[in-house]
Amino acid sequence: MSENYVRLPFNQYFIDTSCNCHGYDTVRNVVEYKSVPYGNGHEANYAVVLDKERKCIQVHFEKTSGDIDWQDNFNFPKKMYDTFEYEGKPLTLYVHSGWGDMYKAMKHELHEDFDKLRKRRKSWDVEVIGWSLGSAMAQLCVQDLNWRYGIRPYCYTFGSVKPFFYSSGRTEKYLSECRSDTYNFCHKSDIVTYQPPFIGFHMMERVDVGSFSLPHLFNPMEYHTLYNRSEIYEGIS
């Protein structure tokens, strides 16, 4: 983290990573997603882009796109993701099966693209950004970049989901040490932000916005897409 780091308005990250999903917002940084096919018709989508003005490297992940992505979303049983040493003892990380497989399918190409841009920019800050399904990839990416490079990225996600499975404070402590400031924005009436709806699944840092309404949970076309509105972030610093 550099002393001069200044984040963008929260809604701008959503506008850019969603590729201006509403069509009337102003894009600041154009994101063109790269597709990585894997398995039987599956694909993972990411983009590594530069924000030269702010001296940041951004890693973006695309939302759910197509029926097969939905299959991956519902492939939720926990799965062993990795085992490594932490504080002198082995730690096994468990994640949502479909999302873990998706991130592993793209991470080697992502590393190659990230390495090329970071080669002469190691002092630059790193931001990881995603919406919906992309929020799961973003959180997995934060852990991956920390483990591989020793950096602590900033993380901004929207309509965020819960990719990690654990019941131990040790795992929670480890994940907290992988990142710098983290904002996984969840509108209280966005049904996606409660997924998977099972005990033991977690996101890195849930930040609630808006108000809860049971009927609104059944209107994701509205409450899963309103993260472009600057007013919902008032009071959040």
Any idea where the domains of the chain sit in the sequence?
34-232
Contact 16, 28 (CB under 8 A): yes
Q: pLDDT class for 215, splitting at 50, 70, 90?
A: very high
pLDDT of residue 3: 77
3-state secondary structure 73-105: HCCCCEEEEEEEEECCEEEEEEEEHHHHHHHHH
pLDDT interval class at 2 (50, 70, 90): low
Q: pLDDT grade, residue 4 (50/70/90)?
A: confident
Q: What average pLDDT does this structure show over 90-114?
A: 97
Residue 66 pLDDT class (50, 70, 90 cuts): confident
Whether the pLDDT of residue 1 is over 80: the answer is no
- The closest alpha carbon to 135, from 73, 223, 82, 180, belongs to 73
What value does the mean pLDDT of the chain take? 96
Which residues, at least 6 apart from 20, have a Cβ–Cβ distance to it below 8 Å? 27
Hey, what's the torsion of the CAs at 17, 22, 27, 33, to 10 degrees? Answer: 40
Q: Which fold has domain 34-232?
A: Rossmann fold (3.40.50)
* Residues contacting residue 198 through CB under 8 Å, at least 6 positions apart: 76
